[in-house]
A and B are shown apart, each in its own frame.
Chain A
Amino acid sequence: MSEAEITRAITFTVNGAVTDMHVEERFSLADMLRHCLALTGTHLGCEHGVCGACTVLVDGEAIRSCLMLAVQVDGSDVTTIEGLADEDGRLNRLQQAFSDHHGLQCGFCTPGILMTLSAFLADNPAPDEGHLREALSGNICRCTGYQGIVDAVMDVVAAPAAKAGQ
Chain B
Amino acid sequence: MKAAAFRYHRADSLAEAGEMLTSLDNARLLSGGQSLMAMMNLRYVIVDHLIDLNPVSELAGISHHDDHFQVGAMTRQRCFLDDDAVAAHSPIFREALGYVGHLQTRNRGTVGGSLAHMDPAAELLGLAALTDADITLSGPNGSRQVAIAEFPQAYMTPDIKVDEILTAVRFNRWPAGHGWDFREFAQRHGDFAVVGVGCLLTLDAAGAIDRAAVVLIGVADGPLRLPAVEAMLLGMLPNADLFRAAGEAARHPEITGDALVTADYRRQLAAVMVRRSLTNAHQRAVQAMNQEHHHV
Binding site for B on A (CB under 8 A): 1, 3, 6, 8, 25-26, 28, 31, 47-50, 52, 55, 61-64, 66-69, 71-72, 116, 119-120, 134-135, 137-138
SS of A interface (majority): mixed
B103 and A138 contacting across the interface, CB-CB below 8 Å: yes
Complex contact B41–A138 (CB within 8 A): no
Chain B 84-119: CB-based contact to A (< 8 A → 1; otherwise 0): 000000000000001001111101100000000000
Query: In the complex, are the beta carbons of A48 and B42 less than 8 A apart?
Result: yes
Query: A3 contacts B38, CB within 8 Å?
Result: no
5 pairs, A vs B, C-beta closer than 8 Å = A1-B6, A6-B7, A55-B104, A62-B107, A67-B108
When the two chains form their complex, are residues A25 and B7 in contact, meaning their CB atoms are under 8 A apart?
Answer: yes
**Quick one: which of B62-102 are within 8 Å of A by CB?**
78, 98, 101-102
Instruction: Tell me how far the C-beta of A81 lies from the nearest C-beta in chain B, rounded to whole angstroms.
Output: 15
- The answer to whether A49 and B103 have CB atoms under 8 Å apart is no
B102:A72 contact, CB within 8 angstroms? no
A135 and B38 alpha carbons, distance in the complex (Å): 21
Say which residue of B2, B42, B98, B108 sits within 8 Å of A68 (CB atoms). B108
A138 pairs with B101, CB closer than 8 A: yes
Minimum CB distance partner of A49 in chain B: B38
Residues 1-18 of B at the A interface (beta carbon under 8 Å): 1-8, 10
Size category of the binding interface on chain B: 20 to 34
Whether A26 touches B6, Cβ cut-off 8 Å, given contacts A68-B33, A68-B37, is yes
Tally of A-B Cβ pairs under 8 angstroms: 87
| Given A26-B5, A67-B33, A72-B54, A48 contacting B41 (CB threshold 8 A) | yes
Q: Is A138 a contact partner of B38 (Cβ separation < 8 A)?
A: no
Which partner residue on chain A sits nearest B36 by CB separation?
Answer: A67
Q: How far is the CB of B49 from chain A (nearest CB, A)?
A: 10
List chain B residues, Cβ under 8 A from A71. 8, 10
Given the complex of chains A and B, what is the CA–CA distance between A135 and B105 in angstroms? Answer: 12
- Are A135's CB and B103's CB within 8 A? yes
Contact call B108/A64, Cβ cutoff below 8 A: yes
Q: How far is the CA of A90 from the CA of B189 in the complex (A)?
A: 34
Interfacial chain B residues near A62, Cβ < 8 Å: 103-104, 107
A134 and B7 contact, CB distance less than 8 A:
no
Q: Is the beta-carbon distance between B103 and A69 smaller than 8 angstroms?
A: no
Question: Please, how many angstroms separate the alpha-carbon atoms of A26 and B8 in the complex?
Answer: 8
Return chain B residues, CB-CB under 8 Å to A48.
38-39, 41-42
> CB distance A31 to B108 under 8 Å?
no
A67 and B2 contacting across the interface, CB-CB below 8 Å: no
Set A47, A52, A69, A134: member contacting B104, Cβ < 8 A: A52
Q: Which residue of A lies closest to B189 (CB)?
A: A137
User: What residues of chain A lie closer than 8 Å to B39, measured between beta carbons?
Assistant: 48
**A47-B41, A138-B105 given; A64·B5 CB < 8 A:** no
Q: Is B19 an interface residue (CB 8 A)?
A: no
Bound-state Cα–Cα, A50 to B98, Å: 17
Note all chain B residues with C-beta closer than 8 A to A26. Answer: 2-6, 8
Q: Is B34 an interface residue (CB 8 A)?
A: yes
Pair B8/A1 contact, Cβ less than 8 Å: no
